[in-house]
Amino acid sequence: MGDREPQCRIEAADAAVEALDRLRAEHGDVLLHLPGGAEDAGTPTCLPVGELRIGAGDVFLGSVHGVDVYEQRSLPGRHYRTGWVVSLDLVPGMSPGFSLRPGDGMRFAIRDRKEEAPS
């Protein structure tokens, strides 16, 4: 399954935490998975644990509110969010493909920023 060392710090807005709680109550444990390229890179797929095979091409970014977050490697040996702060939120829009829906007309969204060095 790859390295389980978190690659970044993950935060979540209250609305995202509430949505994760609702989804876990309905579906059991869930995970979030981000595509590795630029297309929809800010829109994670939310799936019940076991519905997606996590493999060597996936990077464990960390956990938020008890939910593991992975990113598909965009290039062999490289991924873009190492050392970043990743924020999970809900925004209006449709969830990708077969993702669990976090709320009516809403989707999960990722925003990230480079971790600032302590001064």
Q: How far is Cα 57 from Cα 44, in angstroms, rounded to an integer? A: 16
Count CA within 13 A, CB hemisphere, residue 82: 11
pLDDT tens, the chain, 119 aa long = 456 888 888 999 999 999 999 999 999 999 999 887 655 568 899 999 999 999 888 889 999 999 999 988 766 655 566 778 889 999 999 888 889 999 889 999 998 877 675 55
Report pLDDT for 38.
54
Rg (CA), the chain: 14
Domains, the chain, ordered by start = 9-114 (2.60.300)
Report pLDDT for 7.
84
DSSP assigned state of 78: B
Contact 87/12 with Cβ under 8 angstroms?
A: yes
Report pLDDT for 17.
97
Report pLDDT for 77.
55
